[in-house]
Each structure stands twice: as structure tokens, then as C-alpha cells.
């Protein structure tokens, strides 16, 4: 009986130890599953936030470009001495409108507003000339590029990283391009002794996202 009692006691101890090990294994497995689910969720969340950040910066760049395009889409006219080439009037338009829009970094306020409306913060805004140009009566009008950069806050979830925040960066560039233009001219001489000509231009600028 002593031998049988000893054997039963050992068996019971083994069962209890085995149950404890099984419980620990289940807890470890549950933690790993929770951690894996959190990792997968965070990956999906990162992809979503990145997409939203890009969308916000696209909107910001396009908003800035739209403000510039509206400013440049206008008529430009002048009565000048006869014999003056039309390119002189185009050059004045270029100096007073196109170049001023670039030098003045036009559209920053609109870009900031639209980026914010889409949940991102604008951190960089730059207006510059591109490499393309369109010749109007011998004078080149250059392409304008609007570059916008920003960031969006990402809050991670799950064990280990839960509650931590990251900044998701994005950037976008929009183009302002000369879509079409019109030209007319007629006599504007005040008298026969002072021959003059009236040059009338109409410029229409468009925008598009380039990257």
C-alpha cells in the first residue's frame, strides 16, 4: 500500500505540474496571438495613415497651384508705340504676374488650409520654376512647380507599442502650366502723327498633380 500510495502521489503531482505548464503555454500563446494581431493592425493603420497623409498633401499642393493659376489667368493689354514687338507686352506680364507669383511664394495659405482640413500639418511649401516653357510671340513663359511637404500623427496600438505616436511624412508637387492663350491687336493712335498699336492678350493657366 505504501508503494501504491507513493505512486498515486507522484502521479497527482505530475498532473498538477502538467496543468501548470499547459496554462503557461496557453497564456504565452494568447500573448503571441495578441501581439501578432496588434502588429498586423498597426501595419494596416500605417498604410491607411500614409494614404491619408499623401491625400492631404496632394490637396495642399493643388490648392496652392489653383490660387496661382487663377492669378495668372487674366487679360494683359497695353497701347504701345507702333513697331513695338508683342513680346514686349508678354515680358511685362511675365515680370509682373508670373515671376511675382514665384517670388512671393503665392498659395501658401491655401495649401496650409487644405492640408489641415485633411488631417495633416504643412511643414514645407515652395514655389519654383520648372524646366518646361511655352513661347508666346517670342517670349518664354515658364512652368511653375508647387512643392508641399507635411506630416500626420499616427498613434500605435497593442502591447509594447500601445500609446506611442509617430509622425508620418508625405510630399506632393503640382504643376501650373499655360493651357492656352489668345492675342489681338488694333490701332490705338491718338492722332495720325503719333502711331500706336493696342496689344491684347488673354492667358489661361491650368494645374495638374505631377508626383
As a residue count, the chain comes to 211
Q: Collect all residues with Cβ–Cβ distance below 8 Å to 39 and sequence separation of at least 6.
A: 158
Q: pTM to 2 decimals?
A: 0.75
Alpha helix segments (H runs only) across the chain: 2-72, 86-93, 99-103, 108-117
C-alpha cell at 67: 490660387
- Residue written as cell 514686349? 88
pLDDT single digits (tens) 4-27: 556 545 555 544 555 555 666 655
pLDDT single digits (tens) 84-103: 999 999 999 999 999 999 99
C-alpha cell at 147: 512643392
pLDDT single digits (tens) 149-182: 998 776 555 454 455 566 777 889 999 999 999 9
pLDDT single digits (tens) 99-155: 999 999 999 999 999 998 888 889 999 999 999 999 999 999 999 999 999 987 765
Amino acid at each position: 500500500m505504501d508503494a501504491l500510495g507513493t505512486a498515486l502521489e507522484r502521479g497527482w503531482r505530475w498532473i498538477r505540474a502538467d496543468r501548470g505548464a499547459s496554462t503557461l503555454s496557453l497564456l504565452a500563446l494568447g500573448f503571441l496571438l495578441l501581439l501578432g494581431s496588434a502588429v498586423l493592425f498597426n501595419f494596416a493603420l500605417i498604410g491607411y495613415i500614409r494614404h491619408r497623409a499623401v491625400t492631404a498633401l496632394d490637396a495642399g499642393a493643388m490648392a496652392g497651384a489653383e490660387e496661382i493659376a487663377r492669378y495668372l489667368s487674366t487679360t494683359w493689354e497695353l497701347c504701345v508705340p507702333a513697331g513695338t514687338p508683342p513680346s514686349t507686352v508678354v515680358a511685362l506680364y511675365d515680370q509682373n504676374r508670373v515671376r511675382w507669383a514665384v517670388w512671393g511664394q503665392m498659395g501658401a495659405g491655401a495649401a496650409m488650409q487644405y492640408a489641415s482640413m485633411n488631417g495633416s500639418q504643412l511643414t514645407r511649401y515652395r514655389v519654383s520654376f520648372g524646366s518646361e516653357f511655352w513661347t508666346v510671340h517670342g517670349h518664354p513663359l515658364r512652368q511653375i512647380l508647387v512643392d508641399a511637404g507635411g506630416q500626420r500623427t499616427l498613434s500605435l496600438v497593442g502591447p509594447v507599442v500601445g500609446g506611442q505616436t509617430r509622425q508620418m511624412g508625405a510630399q506632393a508637387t503640382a504643376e501650373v502650366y499655360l493651357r492656352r492663350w489668345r492675342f489681338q491687336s488694333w490701332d490705338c493712335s491718338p492722332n495720325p502723327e503719333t502711331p500706336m498699336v493696342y496689344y491684347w492678350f488673354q492667358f489661361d493657366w491650368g494645374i495638374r498633380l505631377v508626383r
